Each structure stands twice: as C-alpha cells, then as structure tokens.
Structure 1
Amino acid sequence: MRPTIPQLDTWNLEGLHRAAEAARANADVLSTSVDDCSRAISAAGGWHGQTKDAAARRIDEEVDHGYEVRTVLLRVADDAADAYAGLKHSKTYVLEQKNLAVTQGFAVAPDGHVTHLDPEKEGDAGVFQLNLLSGLDELERLDTLFGARLRESVGDLGAMRDGQPDITLADGSVQDPDAVAIQLASMSADDRATFLAGLSPEAQRQLVIAAPEKLGSLNGVPFVMRIDANEINIRNALTREKAKPNRDESRVKQLEAMLSPIPNPDTAQAHTDTAAATGKDATPQLGMVDRKFVMFSTEGNGRMIEMIGDMKSGAPGVGVYVPGTSTNLNGSGSNHVAAWNLADKSGSPVFLYMEGDFPQSLTSVSDGAPSPRFAADMAPRLVDFGREIDREVAASAPGTPVSYVGHSYGGSIVGSAEQLGLRADRVLHASSAGTGVFEGGWNNPNPNVQRYSMTAPGDLIGVVQSYPDGGLTLPGGIHLPGNPHASEVLGGDPDEVPGVTRLDTGFYSEENTDHRNEVVFGSDGHGGYWDDRNSTAFQNIVGVINGSDATAYVERGIETRYVDIGLGDNGDGRKEGFDASKAAAAAALADAFGNPNLDPYANPRITDNPQLGEKIDIK
C-alpha cells in the first residue's frame, strides 16, 4: 500500500525486525536438529539389518525435508530484514523531509504535495514535493515487493508441512522435485532449457527450494531460477561458515555483503568499496536492490558470477568482465564495484565472471600468473557461459550485442575462450596478459566480431606481452622465458594483432586524488583506471560495452626522474624490458639507501603527443 504521511508517522516497524530474528533463530535450531539426527544414525555402526535401512531412509527424507523448511525460513528472515531496513530508511527520509519543509514555512499535504504562500518559493516547494513523492514511491515499491515475497514464503511453508509437494510437468505427469532435479542434471543444457520452459513458475520455485545446489550453477537453467537458487546457497554457506569452530571472518563478511542490498545502477550515483566488502553502505539510498548471482560455489578460492543490472529490451549492450591475478571470492569487493560502475556508466547489465580459480601469485611459475593452467581451465567454462548469455539475450533482449572485457590474466582467459569458440560481438583486452594459451588463432563464430585492446605505457604487462617465443635476454644476461599466454599464430601482444583496434588509456580524472589528471602510466597504470570511473580508459570500456564511442590510441613519450619511455618503445620487448629494468634498479637502490617506498613512475611528464586520440565510433 502507499501510506499517507500521517499514516507513516504511526508505523512501528520493530515487529518486522523481531520477525526476521525469530525466523532466523528457528532456521538455526532446525538446522542443528536435523544435523544431529543425521549424525546419530550415521554413528550407529553396530546396528545392521532391514530396520536400520528403513530408519536411515526415513531419516534421510526428514533431513532433506528439514533443510527445505530451513531454506524457506531463511528466505523469510532475509526478506523481513531487508524490508525492515528499506522501509525504516524510507520512512525516516520522508518524515525528515516533511519536518524540514514545515519548519521552513511550507504546507505539506498528507499525500506529499507541498505549497507555500510566497509565490517566489514555488521552486523550493517543488523540490520538497519531489523528495517526498520519491520517498512515498519507494515505500509503496518496498511494501508491494516484500509483501508478495513474504506471502509466497508463508504459502510455501504451509504447502510443505508434510513434505515437499510434488510438481506438475509439461506433459501433465506429477513428480517429486528432488527426482526432477536429478533428471535435470543428466540433460544437456539445451534440453534442460526446453524442459524448464514448460514448467509453471510455481513448479520452478518448488524445484529451486528442493535442489538449490544443483540448479544454482547448471547451464540451461534460466537466470532467474539460478539467482533464486544461489541466494539460498549463499545463505546456507553463511550458516555453515558461522557454525565452524574456526570460522573464516573474511568469508563471513563477504557472504553477508553478497546478501545485502546495493544501490540500483539504473538510478544511483555511487557505490563504494566499503559497502561491497561489508554490506554496509555509508549512505543508504532509495531504490536499493538485491545482488544477483547466476553461479556460486565455495570450491577453491570461492567462485561466482554476479549479474549487475537487468537483462531487458532497450539496453544498449551486455558486458562480461573477467578480472585478473589475485581475484578470489573474499577479496572480490573492488571487482564488484568496478562491474557496478560499468553497469551504471554503460546503462547495460554487466556480469562479473569468476567461474574458477585465478592465480594468486604474480611470480610463481607453477601456481601463479605465469602458469597457463588457470586460463586453460576457465576458458571452456566461459565458452559455455557465453551460450547461456546468448540464450538469455535471445529471450529478453534480442539483438543486444554482447562484449567481453578481459583484464590482465582475465585477458588470457578471454583470448583462450575465443580460441575455443566463444561467440562475442565485441572483445576488449585491457592490459591483457596475452592472446590465449592454446595454439592457433581466435575462432569466434561471429564473423563480424570487433576486437579492441589497450595497454598503458610503462605497464609491466607490456614486457610480458612482447616476450618473443624463445624468450628474452635482458641486460646483464638475465633470460626470461617466452610468454605462456602467447598463441603461436597470434603472438602474445593483443595490441599488435592485425584487426585489433588499439584504444588509448589516456588520463586519470579530475576526481582522482592520487593521480589527478595524470597520464595513465607505469605499474599503477596496469589497473588504476579500473578504480577511476571517469578516466579515459574506463570510459573506453564503457564505450565498447554500450556501443557509443572510444578514444583511439596515441603513442606518447613519457619520462620521470628515473624512467624515460620514448616513441617506439611500446611493443618492442627489448626496449620495454630495458625500461622496466631501469625502474627496478632505481627502486632497489632507493631501498638499499633507506627509501623502500620509492615509486620510479611517480610524477610522469609527457614529452611527446600530450593530446588525446581521436574519437572512434563503436558499432
């Protein structure tokens, strides 16, 4: 319902808060009880025979039923908690705006309309009225949204009192949802999609409740079902982590953040690293939305695919962002914010792709960024997920172009996926480690794919890109092996591949307090632009995703007190290696003399071509 302001003044939301706590407590009690029951039957090692077998089967059924009830109780708890937080913030906002208007002599009607006797204050009255109506709109939206969700959950609890209800299939037959989930797991992605399309929304929801772990990451399952399933999976993972005797506090914070609302990229102005890492936004806003995950797993370093924004007709594009070395679930807050900023700036849904383990070391040959095994493992998964994106685009936004952006090691993953047949409309290698770990060229099924690249001058990844196949010998006889992310056909440098349009990394923005208006350069230039949504490089990524425009590459001469990168150095492995060696030597010498924090790339000066490149259309 849409309240009037006097009605809103009487709302007591604390009961909603207490209901959320009660539902969560009951879910925990139920979880502990069924776990104890399961352990008890497992511990009865000296008991054998038909009676034990029958008891074990029955207990397994009840344990499964208990977990399903726990799932719905946790959904009630989270929805009630989110409703409480959102309604409380919106109520406070509306009443504060009303009180402020009244103290300044404005008349506020119960429906939020504002007037003043002085005609000259008509503009101020309009501002107050807009704020009040926006707040009342948000209250109505939240009340409608969470009211429907909670009624649905209460209905589910009633329907599953004596066990999970059977579901009706497209052919009219009735089956147990657990059996259907097992059947789905054995199907191909295409058959799975066809099968699920024939089910009612009610049957789909019951499937999600029965088997969230199976459905959350299965290709062919519609994203809306995967999102619902993974919300359950994340809640369950949080419950399990909190119950551990030596729980991982970083993991707890991350999972809590993943379950917390975020600003809507379609309407909000900003999103912070603090909010992404803790789930606590320093400046709560109207129109907060739930985070959406179409894949989640605690395997390895933690894995996920997050969808930011909505897949809908009229969006200018769809983006897939594959990050680089050191990416992991617990530390994914900055990657999430970068993807949010891309969605916000481009007006397009953006997927943060982390469906596998990334190298956590920059230097380990066997287990770090030099190793191709992580890219080889994730590339085929990215190809398969690309088909799922195409399936969703065809259903929700036909004809919308899909762009893949690989940063650093992520560029090698994207390049390797293209070698295996990833279909894309646009591909951008951003400070990419290479063109792909497999032999042969790119094998994109789209003959009209557009490819772009950008690498900052002085970025050490440029040395990696330029390694010749047989390796590189630096001054002093130091030999470096060939780039393991270099295709035999394409080489290791995406900037140099025929048909790839190189873009300018350009300059940081006026708002960047560390590098205000500075040229993107050196070691910070490898990833610093991802944290500056108004930098030239970030705007270029936005332009590729939404099909607007981008800034073409300009080669510049740049020097600092310790490094001098001249025209012609870019793309020349020996010159880039020599430049990197000078920087490393300067830092080592400074360290030896008590200055361990020297940045040899600090305070860069442009000696050649200070202008930005020309704008080019992205179509």
Structure 2
Amino acid sequence: MSRPTVSQVSAWRPQALLELAGAWDDAAGRLQAQADSVDDSVTHSSGGFAGSAAGAARAAIGPTTAGLRGVCRALILAAAKARDAADVITRGRERVLAVAADARNEGCPVGDDGTVAPPSAPSALLVACSGGSDSVARTMLDVRAAELTRVLQGALSSLGAADAEAAAAIDAAFDTAIPGAAPVRPAGLTGSSVGDWPHMSQDSINASIAGMPDSERRRLVESRPQEVGNTDGVPWEMRIAANRINIANAILDERRRIDVPDDVKLRAAVAPTLEPADAERLWATLHADPAMRASAVSAYDRHARDRIAYYETLLADVPDPLDRDRRVPRQILAFDPQRQSFIELSGDLRRAHALAVLVPGLNTTFEGADDDVATARRFVAGSTGDIAMITYLGGPFPTGQLAAGVADAADPRYALHMAPRLVAFSEDVDRRAGSMPVTYLGHSYGGSILGSAEHLGLTADRVIYVEAAGAGVGVWDTSDWHNRNPDVVRFSLTAPGDPIGLVQGIPRGPHGADPDGLPGVIPLAPGRRLGGGPMGGLSSHSDVLNEPSDAWRNIVAVITGDREHIRVAG
C-alpha cells in the first residue's frame, strides 16, 4: 500500500496477524485430516472396490487430494509469513507512534500525513537560549519541525513498504498450492527423470536444470521438493525454495501425529521392551486412570509440538547479521529429518569474498543446531559480510553428557557415515563458490568427520582442524589425506588445557593422528581472550569459535586469506 496515515497506523493491530497465522495453521491441520480421509476412503479402499470404475475413481481422486495437500502446505507457509509480518509491522508501528509522541511532547501539532508543524510560539526558555531573539527561536523550531516531519514520514513510508512486502510474501506463499502429481523430466535429457538423479553426476543434474525455463524449475520445486532440496548439483536457490516446502510438510507431518486417536498415543507410551504382562497392566492402568491417561497423551503431543515450534523458526525470517533492524529469509540447503540432515547458509554469497563450511561436533543434533548457526552468523557479522558460512549437519552426531558423551564420541561410525556426504557436498560447494576461496572448519568430533572426508577426496582451498578429535578415521600420515585440491593449505588450532588434547593422536585410536603434530599442518596461535587472559582451559573448546578473541580473529584471517594477520603458534 502507499504511505499510511498516522491515524491508520494508530488503529492497526498487528496482533491480528498472529491470530490469523494460528487460524491458518489450524485450518491446515483440519484440511489435511480431510484429505487423508478422502484418500484412504478411495485410494486405499478394501472390501471389494475394484474394476474400471474403481480405477477411474482412484485416478480422479489423486490430483484432488494432491491439490488439498498443496493448500495445506500453502497455509503453513502463509502463516509463517504472517508471523514475520506481525513482528516487522509491530516494530514499524511502534516507531511511527514513538516519533509522533515525541513531536506532540514538544508541543508540535502532528498532521495525519506525518507533517509536523512548529509550536505556535517558542517557550521562554528557548528564547532565552537563543540570546533573547524570538526570530532565532522560531527558526530553530521550524528546523526541528522539518526534521520531525522527515523522520515521521520516513517511518510511515518504511511501514507502508513493509506492509506491502508482507502482503506480497503471503500471496507468494499461497501460490505454492499448485499440485504436482506428475514427475518432471529435466530438459535436454531424454528419458531421464528426478528418479535418475541418484545415478547421475552433479554436473549432469546441474546441466539438465540449466536448460529448463523458470516455469519448469518452479514446477520441479513444487512437485519434488524432497529430491530438489537435498540433492547436490541442484542450484542453491532451488534447494532453498524446496526446503521451505519440506519444512512445511514436516510441520504437517507433526500435526498428523497430534491428530491420531488417543489409543495410538497410549500405545506409544507402553514401552515395547516391557514384558507382555507388564505392558498389559500398564495399558489397563492408562485406560483406568484419567490422570495417567492425560499425562501420556500430553507427553506424546509435547514432542510433536516442540518439533513444530522448531520447524516454525526455520520458516521465520531472522535478523540480517549485518543489519539487525532488517530481517532476511533463512537459506536452508538441506532439510531431511529422517536422515538427520540439515545444512544452512548464513550471509550473502553475492557480497562475500570467502566461503566457509563449519562441521560441528559432539552433542550436535538436528533439532538443536541453533547454536552452530549462531556461530556461523557471528563470523558473517564479524567479517562485515566478507565471509559467508555454511553450517553442515550431514547426519547424526555422537551425543551424551559427561562420560556417556565421551564414550559415544569414541565411535568412528558417525564420521565414517557422514564423510562421504561431505565429500559430495564439497563438490557442489566448489561449483557454487567459483573463484571464491572455500575453507572447511572441523570442530571437535567434526575434525574427525572433516579428516575422514579429506581421506575420501574432499575439495577445499583451506582446512582448519579446530580443537579436533583427530585427523580423520584411518589418517595417520598426511599421505592418507586425498584432498582433490593439490594446493590445499591445512591449519590446526588447539588451546592449552582443552581436554580434547587427552584423546588426540592416541595410538590406534578411533580418530587418527593428532592434526597438530602432522607435518605441513600450520598450528595457529590461540592467543588471548577478549578480557586479556590466555585462551585455554575447559571452556576454550568452544570459546575459540564463539568468543571475539585472538583465536577467533586468527580463524577469520585464514578464511579471508588475510596472511598479514594469521598468527602461528611458536
């Protein structure tokens, strides 16, 4: 819309957008239940429904239910945009009202169009401060009124633009309600389809998509979001768009779990490991005791609601790392709850001069990656946008507290499982980065994942083993690394007193050699903390990545190629 008036803004109630978002979410759940019911009644019908009429009914109902599910998905995406709009418009409205209030407090009349007039007469104090000159005081009031007009009308214009942008975003979300029942065949590859992608090279996938018109790309995203959002070789803008759909579908999946009958939820509360007699007694108790029954149902729902709340944050816009007053969409390059795969890009590749990929470590989880994403955003902000950073979760990580965590981290299976995926992803990163240098950071257990990937043929310009568990499974010498870039430069950083040092390089250990001691690996100086003390001790394990210290600046210098500021350990 055009610039709103002050009275219009005063009457606005952004809370209504949150209420609308909630209503759309609920409608999506109810509509999905209806779609499931229709689908089950015909597509999965039993009891003798056969013959040509049955076949025709099933063929007809497929596009119908696909369309209904598309509307469900659109409602979820539109609700996310409505919540974003409520936040932005609330802040914009508060800014307009605050400026108008300031003007009125100074005795200035405020016009509905945002024009601020000076008071009818200057105060005695202002005249005194103007050397007793009434004309000088009036001139000062005129200047102040003009400044308030500029600020207030600017705030009104910004709010109007935000309102128009929110409306366009909500409209675009509803545009995703296009059913895509038929598989899409990439242009230029006769006889090939999305189903062939697992057997195609990334270059072939990329080339096939490059030959598609925009309309066909969009249809591909909407009809096959799971494959598009999680396949290396697909352009990243398409992966990001597809993963918004995948996240919406995941929310709908969790809503479906909440909508199941209570008996299904109670069955889930009866542990399958119980003896049959114990399971039967618990089952009877859950049905006989209303409080226990309600508790079991609530626990079942709570897990699903927690996942919904997390997934909604992935659809929400986030503060721009370079401008906290501006919000930007998240750039999620992979989202697959079944595989525990989550990859997110932070920063602007068009502005950045260097790209980094962060592979985190112990206790990283699919639903708890926020801390690692926040680390990436700090690197973007701290480099004033010179760095764009990818947070890489290519599968499950070891987890556990204290001794249990240490024991799980001794298992090399996680590294061996994830390393091939990281190798494949590095090929895609190399393609997207172009001439931009790419640095991989393996932190803690992530160091073992990174080293194992180097063993299998990772492509990187620079590699940093940060407080790393080891140089990789089966890596005992630099000859065991097979990075596809023969000019790769390797660094390591381990602060003194970090307990990780107790497990690095254990003979015949699960994670290979200590990267700090391998020839050709450049040891970075941990330096000093923000407060001036030496970087070291238990907390240094994560602080080197998160505290604006010498170690952190050393990592930034490596990523950006700022050789003058790289500090090597003595």
Question: What does residue range 358-437 of structure 1 map to in structure 2 within 5 Å?
Answer: 358-361=397-400, 368-394=408-434, 399-437=435-473
What whole-Å deviation, never above 9, does each CA across 1:344-377 have from its counterpart, x for those lacking one?
A: 1122221110011111146569971111111111
Q: Does 1:229 align with 2:236?
A: no
- Equivalence for 1:349: 388
- Equivalence for 2:278: none
CA distance in 2 between counterparts of 1:297 and 1:401 reads 28
Q: In 2 relative to 1, CA 353–122 (structure 1 residues): closer, same or farther, beyond 3 Å?
A: farther
Q: Does 1:310 align with 2:348?
A: yes
Structure 2 counterpart of 1:323, from 360, 367, 376: 360
Work out which of the two has the higher radius of gyration on C-alpha atoms and give 1 or 2.
Answer: 2
Query: Offset of 1:528 from its aligned partner?
Result: 2.9
The alignment partner of 2:441 has SS state of: strand
Q: Does 1:485 align with 2:511?
A: yes
CA distance in 2 between counterparts of 1:550 and 1:5 reads 52
Q: If the length of structure 2 is used for normalisation, what is the TM-score?
A: 0.77
CA distance in 1 between counterparts of 2:167 and 2:138 reads 41
The alignment partner of 2:416 has SS state of: helix
Query: Offset of 1:455 from its aligned partner?
Result: 0.5
Conservation of the 8 A alpha-carbon contact between 1:393 and 1:400: yes
- Equivalence for 1:78: 80
The alignment partner of 2:356 has SS state of: strand
Q: In 2 relative to 1, CA 118–426 (structure 1 residues): closer, same or farther, beyond 3 Å?
A: farther
Query: Offset of 1:219 from its aligned partner?
Result: 1.3
Query: Offset of 1:33 from its aligned partner?
Result: 1.0
Q: In 2 relative to 1, CA 207–146 (structure 1 residues): closer, same or farther, beyond 3 Å?
A: farther
Q: Does 1:149 align with 2:160?
A: no
CA distance in 2 between counterparts of 1:172 and 1:388 reads 20
Conservation of the 8 A alpha-carbon contact between 1:506 and 1:520: yes
Conservation of the 8 A alpha-carbon contact between 1:72 and 1:209: no
Equivalent residue letter for 1:525: S
CA distance in 2 between counterparts of 1:552 and 1:124 reads 52
Structure 1 counterpart of 2:517, from 496, 499, 524: 496
Q: In 2 relative to 1, CA 366–136 (structure 1 residues): closer, same or farther, beyond 3 Å?
A: same
- Equivalence for 2:557: 543
CA distance in 1 between counterparts of 2:352 and 2:48 reads 62
Equivalent residue letter for 1:139: L
CA distance in 2 between counterparts of 1:449 and 1:141 reads 47
How many residues are matched?
Answer: 500
The alignment partner of 1:435 has SS state of: coil
Query: Offset of 1:260 from its aligned partner?
Result: 2.2
Conservation of the 8 A alpha-carbon contact between 1:185 and 1:214: no
Conservation of the 8 A alpha-carbon contact between 2:495 and 2:536: yes
Equivalent residue letter for 1:324: G
What whole-Å deviation, never above 9, does each CA across 1:49-102 have from its counterpart, x for those lacking one?
A: 334444444434433332223222322232233223312221222321332244
Equivalent residue letter for 2:90: K
The alignment partner of 2:490 has SS state of: strand
Q: Does 1:552 align with 2:567?
A: yes
CA distance in 1 between counterparts of 2:559 and 2:455 reads 21
Equivalent residue letter for 1:418: E
- Equivalence for 1:256: 312
- Equivalence for 2:542: 527
CA RMSD of aligned residues (A): 3.5
What whole-Å deviation, never above 9, does each CA across 1:466-503 have from its counterpart, x for those lacking one?
A: 42x2xxxxxxxxxxxx32111xxxxx121122222211
CA distance in 1 between counterparts of 2:534 and 2:148 reads 42
CA distance in 2 between counterparts of 1:426 and 1:500 reads 11
The alignment partner of 1:448 has SS state of: coil
Q: In 2 relative to 1, CA 257–19 (structure 1 residues): closer, same or farther, beyond 3 Å?
A: closer
Q: Does 1:27 align with 2:42?
A: no
Conservation of the 8 A alpha-carbon contact between 1:72 and 1:156: yes
Give unpaired runs (5+ residues) of structure 1: 269-285, 470-481, 487-491, 511-516, 556-619
Conservation of the 8 A alpha-carbon contact between 2:362 and 2:405: no
Among the aligned pairs, what percent are the same residue?
A: 32
What whole-Å deviation, never above 9, does each CA across 1:363-401 have from its counterpart, x for those lacking one?
A: 56997111111111111111111111122223xxxx211
Query: Offset of 1:413 from its aligned partner?
Result: 1.1
- Equivalence for 1:139: 159
Give unpaired runs (5+ residues) of structure 2: 119-136, 258-264, 266-299
Equivalent residue letter for 1:142: A
CA distance in 2 between counterparts of 1:368 and 1:127 reads 63
Conservation of the 8 A alpha-carbon contact between 1:363 and 1:370: no
CA distance in 2 between counterparts of 1:122 and 1:323 reads 58
Higher helix share: 2
Tell which has more relative contact order, 1 or 2 (C-alpha 8 A, sep 6+).
2
Question: What does residue range 143-182 of structure 1 map to in structure 2 within 5 Å?
Answer: 143-154=163-174, 157=177, 170=187, 181-182=194-195
Question: What does residue range 193-212 of structure 1 map to in structure 2 within 5 Å?
Answer: 193-212=206-225
- Equivalence for 2:288: none
CA distance in 1 between counterparts of 2:376 and 2:312 reads 19
Q: If the length of structure 1 is used for normalisation, what is the TM-score?
A: 0.72
Structure 1 counterpart of 2:226, from 213, 220, 226: 213
- Equivalence for 2:51: 50
Q: In 2 relative to 1, CA 123–194 (structure 1 residues): closer, same or farther, beyond 3 Å?
A: farther
Question: What does residue range 288-299 of structure 1 map to in structure 2 within 5 Å?
Answer: 288-299=327-338
Query: Offset of 1:185 from its aligned partner?
Result: 5.6
Conservation of the 8 A alpha-carbon contact between 2:359 and 2:446: yes
Q: In 2 relative to 1, CA 169–230 (structure 1 residues): closer, same or farther, beyond 3 Å?
A: closer
Query: Offset of 1:261 from its aligned partner?
Result: 2.1
What whole-Å deviation, never above 9, does each CA across 1:228-249 have from its counterpart, x for those lacking one?
A: 1111211221232244241315
- Equivalence for 2:372: 335
Equivalent residue letter for 2:372: N
